[in-house]
């Protein structure tokens, strides 16, 4: 039986002043999070600005991680594109490198699409991958994609492509959906992206998380993802992050933790958090995490 998924850090992506990916600190951050108890590092997800990272860059970063000695089975690759051909190309390279899983979001340019349409798109990606297709985590994040993943769609994909769909990452923030997902597909790897619901989901059979906050409070998120342990500090800090665009806000905390300002940079159309916001986030963090868990 496959081991429990555990905690994967949704790795942020640092940039040089030129706009190029700063690969060395990214590798260092991945190593630090893995050393602190993460079971894997997820590359190019929402927190990693994956929609702004091109196919060629993904290849370079993934191969650099492997060359640096990070095992392929400790990497998850996100795919956040609309064309089935592009999705298959990005997933193919990652799977050929031996990554643990593919985190695959639905296409998001066209809105109000049908379940049949989504089934057709995912089917096209899996068919293009052929025998390589495995370990796919379907990514439900409708606040970003505006394309929710119906439970029935997950069931159809499982039935049509046995052994391909390994699980679901639910970042919808809707506990009623998460609970229904756990009931309907609890034999899959169910991961919760909203840290406010994480511990509860684990107590109900969830297998862990892919978490942006694991970049800077790794041990605290690990206790939630592995042991189902509530942490009011984490839940409160989520609310502080949500006062800002979340990805740049997470990067503020990574820059503060590492002392490396390359983590503050984001790619357009995102913008970095202004100085006042950085100060407010730091103050909130110090206020919350200066105390023991509630």
Q: What is the per-residue pLDDT across 63-75, written as a single tens digit (0 to 9) for each? A: 999 999 999 999 9
Q: What is the predicted pLDDT for the residue at 99?
A: 98
Do the annotations mark residue 221 as ligand-binding?
no
Alpha-carbon span 144 to 139, nearest angstrom: 11
Which pair of tokens denotes residue 257?
Answer: 């933790």
Out of 139, 243, 244, 285, the active site residue is 139
Helix (H, G, I), strand (E, B), or coil: what is residue 41?
strand
Alpha helix (H) residue ranges in the chain: 23-35, 55-67, 84-97, 115-129, 142-145, 151-160, 175-185, 198-203, 218-227, 232-241, 246-258, 275-289
Around Cβ 219, how many Cβ atoms within 10 Å? 11
Cα–Cα distance for residue pair 179/248, rounded to 1 Å: 29
Catalytic-residue membership of 139: yes
Model confidence at 1, pLDDT cuts 50, 70, 90, reads very low
Q: Which of 111, 169, 243, 285 is catalytic?
A: 169
- What pLDDT, in 10s, does the model give residues 195-230? 999 999 999 999 999 999 999 999 999 999 999 999
CA distance 231 to 221: 8
Domains, the chain, ordered by start: 6-229 (3.20.20.70)
12 annotated ligand binder: no
Residue 2, pLDDT > 60, answer no
Specify whether 177 is catalytic: no
The mean pLDDT value for 128-152 works out to: 97
Q: Are 85 and 56 in contact (CB under 8 A)?
A: no
| pLDDT value, residue 290 | 85
Q: What is the CA radius of gyration of the chain?
A: 18
């Amino acid at each position: 039986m496959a081991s429990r998924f555990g905690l994967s850090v949704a790795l942020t992506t640092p940039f040089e002043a030129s706009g190029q990916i700063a690969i060395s600190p990214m590798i260092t951050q991945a190593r630090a999070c893995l050393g602190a108890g993460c079971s894997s590092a997820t590359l190019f997800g929402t927190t990693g600005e994956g929609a702004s990272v091109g196919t060629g860059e993904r290849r370079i970063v993934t191969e650099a991680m492997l060359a640096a000695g990070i095992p392929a089975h400790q990497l998850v690759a996100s795919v956040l594109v609309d064309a089935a051909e592009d999705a298959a190309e990005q997933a193919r390279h990652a799977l050929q490198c031996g990554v643990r899983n593919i985190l695959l979001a639905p296409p998001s340019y066209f809105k109000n699409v049908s379940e049949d349409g989504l089934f057709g798109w995912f089917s096209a990606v899996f068919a293009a991958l052929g025998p390589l297709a495995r370990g796919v985590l379907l990514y439900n994040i409708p606040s970003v994609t505006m394309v929710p993943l119906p439970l029935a769609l997950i069931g159809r994909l499982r039935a049509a492509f046995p052994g391909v769909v390994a699980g679901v990452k639910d970042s919808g923030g809707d506990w009623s959906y998460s609970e229904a997902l756990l009931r309907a597909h609890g034999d899959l790897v169910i991961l919760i992206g909203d840290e406010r619901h994480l511990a509860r989901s684990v107590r109900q059979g969830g297998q862990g998380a892919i978490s942006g906050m694991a970049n800077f409070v790794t041990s605290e998120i690990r206790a939630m993802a592995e042991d189902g342990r509530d942490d009011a500090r984490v839940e409160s800090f989520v609310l502080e992050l949500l006062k800002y665009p979340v990805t740049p806000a997470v990067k503020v905390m990574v820059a503060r933790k590492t002392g490396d300002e390359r983590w503050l940079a984001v790619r357009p159309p995102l913008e970095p958090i202004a100085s006042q916001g950085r100060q407010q986030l730091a103050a909130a963090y110090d206020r919350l995490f200066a105390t023991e868990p509630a």
